[in-house]
Amino acid sequence: MAKIRLDKYLADMGLGTRTEVKKFIKKGQITVNDVIIRAPEYKTDTQTDRVCADGQPVSYAGVEYYMLNKPQGVVSATEDKREKTVLDLIVSKKRKDLFPVGRLDKDTEGLLLITNNGELAHQLLSPKKHVDKTYVTKLLHPLAPEDAARLEEGVDIGEPELTLPAKVKLLNTEGTEVQITIWEGKFHQVKRMFWAVGNQVVFLKRISMGSLALDKGLKPGEYRLLTQEEIMRLKEHAGTDKSSDF
């Protein structure tokens, strides 16, 4: 059972700032289980109490998880003065504290997890965890077999250490479409790895991260909530607390 103050409940769900929602409460606009509650500090059960604002139900979401197929041209940030952000695309979000788990470049497409579960994000991004990320790339030049072998051994991208061995699979006979799996997440890593073997990425799309695979039904710019099973498998993969998200 998770009980929180009524003003926090409403503010968490984006009905306004704490000051604004306190005014709604005091004016008698909020009911809990059909009873008008005028006390902002009223302890509300986020799972069982039925809260309404002006008669409209307001259900509570403690933690949200969205899978976004990030389109090109959008930045992986929570807010930006000039650019459209990935958070701007999640129009049905309830929580205000959502953030993208890691970054995809502005010109990269594909799987981006958006949540407010900080512990899960931390585990998925931790360099020590070596969570696998798979990308589909289109390259300027065909990938020579010896360059694929170098990527699979580790290449020098200007960091103190070589990259960890990647897994490379050709997706077309010319060798210009290549799937690559890496277990790290350095800045521009995939592009820098192909640069290191004298090639250039002209299109990049992430198709999986750990146990989470991009839903093929999502077009660029589309998103959906994760299923309970996807959430459990991700938490298992990352070794985070699997208790309830309320």
Q: Which residues form the catalytic set?
A: 105
CB of 218 to ligand URA, least distance (A): 17
- What residues contact 108, with CB distance under 8 A and at least 6 apart? 70, 72, 204, 205, 206
What is the closest distance, in whole angstroms, from the C-beta atom of residue 2 to ligand URA in the complex?
Answer: 36
d(CA 110, CA 100): 13
The answer to the question of residue 105 lying near ligand URA (CB under 6 A) is yes
Closest of 102, 97, 178, 173 to residue 136, by C-alpha: 178
DSSP state of 74: -
CB 199: neighbour CB atoms within 10 A?
A: 22
> By CB under 6 A, is residue 224 in contact with ligand URA?
no
Residue placing its CB nearer to ligand URA in the complex, 25 or 112: 112
Site string for ligand URA, 153-182 (x = CB under 6 A): ------------------------------
Output 107 or 119, the one with its CB closest to ligand URA: 107
Q: In this structure, are residues 185 and 133 in contact, taking their beta carbons and an 8 Å threshold?
A: yes
How many residues in the shown chain lie near ligand URA by CB under 6 A? 8
Is the separation of the CB atoms in 115 and 238 below 8 Å? no
Binder among 5, 95, 191, 205 for ligand URA (CB under 6 A): 191
Q: Which is nearer to ligand URA, 94 or 188 (CB)?
A: 188
Q: For the chain, how far is it from start to end, CA to CA, in angstroms? A: 8
34, burial (CB in 10 Å: exposed 0-12, middle 13-18, buried 19+): exposed
Q: Shortest distance, CB of residue 95 to ligand URA, whole angstroms? A: 25
CB of 208 to ligand URA, least distance (A): 13
Binding site for ligand URA (CB under 6 A): 104-105, 108, 188-191, 204
